[in-house]
Amino acid sequence: MTDDNFPYCKVDLYKSNKKSGISIGEQFPELELHSTKGFLKLPKEFKRKWFVLFTLIADFTPVCTTELAGFNDIFEKLEEMDCVLLSLSFDQVYSHIKWIEWIKQNLEIEIKFPILAGNNKTANMLGLFSEFGNNLVRATYIVDPKGIVRSIHFYPQEIGRFPEEIVRSMNALQVAIDDDVLMPVNWPENAMLGRKVLMRPPTDEDSALEAMEQHENHDWWFCYKSLEYE
């Protein structure tokens, strides 16, 4: 399973005919996998915690190596949000260990999070197969403390991800859920509202009038406010 332009991405996996993949709002599937930090059970292992799981194509590949380094840079930022960072690659754990050693020796980067060992079943459960040549895609899942998938980001093999967007997404999700608000584009650096957040649109005439009286607005359906704790 490989693209002629990316022969290094060859992996010994096959796509199941069964329905695969997960969606936002669904329970994250139960996975029991070996990792560089020991045997892990997801999502049970991280009850009452957020976690980010980003999948890789294969060990010792150039884009995936830059992604490991890039996500390593945001490890502390996610930790400050009480969020665990995990990765998953489709090679065995001994290969992961050697890859981590190579990165430390050659790039002087010490990977701080576990790399899980994925398999065919894992790829199908997570919906990682692309219809283009039956190749794997790069995916990032943000999962809440109840094990519910809150965000999914997919990228093709050719393009490495932007880890800072995961930090922004995590921050925005936590604020949106805790304060029951909506987040404008590019928050917290929105050109129109800055760090202000949007109110949920009213559902009747009385609440529409009340919203305009209580909040800054451009109209009854476009109300916004500053966060109280800022």
pLDDT for 228 equals 77
Q: CA triplet 92, 47, 173: central angle to 5 degrees? A: 95
pLDDT for 7 equals 34
Q: What strands lie across the sheet with 115-117, from one edge to the other?
A: 38-42, 31-35, 115-117, 83-89, 50-55, 138-143, 149-155
Under a CB-based contact definition with an 8 Å cutoff, are residues 25 and 151 in contact?
no
* Residue 125 token pair: 């459960």
- State how far the Cα of 210 lies from the Cα of 218, in Å rounded to an integer: 14
Q: In sequence order, what are the residues at sequence separation of 6 or more whose Cβ sits closer than 8 angstroms to the Cβ of residue 149?
A: 22, 23, 24, 25, 26, 27, 28, 141, 142, 143
- State how far the Cα of 165 lies from the Cα of 224, in Å rounded to an integer: 23
Low-confidence residues in the chain, pLDDT < 50: 1-11, 17-19
- State how far the Cα of 83 lies from the Cα of 94, in Å rounded to an integer: 26
HEC profile for 6-67?
EHHHCCCCCCCCCCCCCCCCCECCCEEEEECCEEEEECHHHCCCEEEEEECCCCCCHHHHHH
Convert the pLDDT of each residue in 1-39 to its tens digit. 333 333 333 445 555 544 468 999 999 999 999 999 999
- State how far the Cα of 199 lies from the Cα of 1, in Å rounded to an integer: 47
Under a CB-based contact definition with an 8 Å cutoff, are residues 27 and 148 in contact?
yes
Domain 7-161 falls in which CATH fold? Glutaredoxin (3.40.30)
Query: Which CATH number describes the domain made up of 180-230?
Result: 3.30.1020.10
Catalytic residue IDs: 64
Q: CA triplet 48, 49, 50: central angle to 5 degrees? A: 135
Under a CB-based contact definition with an 8 Å cutoff, are residues 182 and 198 in contact?
yes
pLDDT for 49 equals 94
| Type of residue at 46 | F
Domain layout of the chain by residue ranges: 7-161, 180-230
Going through 56-175 in order, the beta strands assigned E by DSSP cover 83-89, 115-117, 138-143, 149-155
Percent of the chain clearing pLDDT 70 (strictly above):
89
Convert the pLDDT of each residue in 77-95 to its tens digit. 999 999 999 999 999 999 9
> 3-state DSSP call for residue 97?
helix
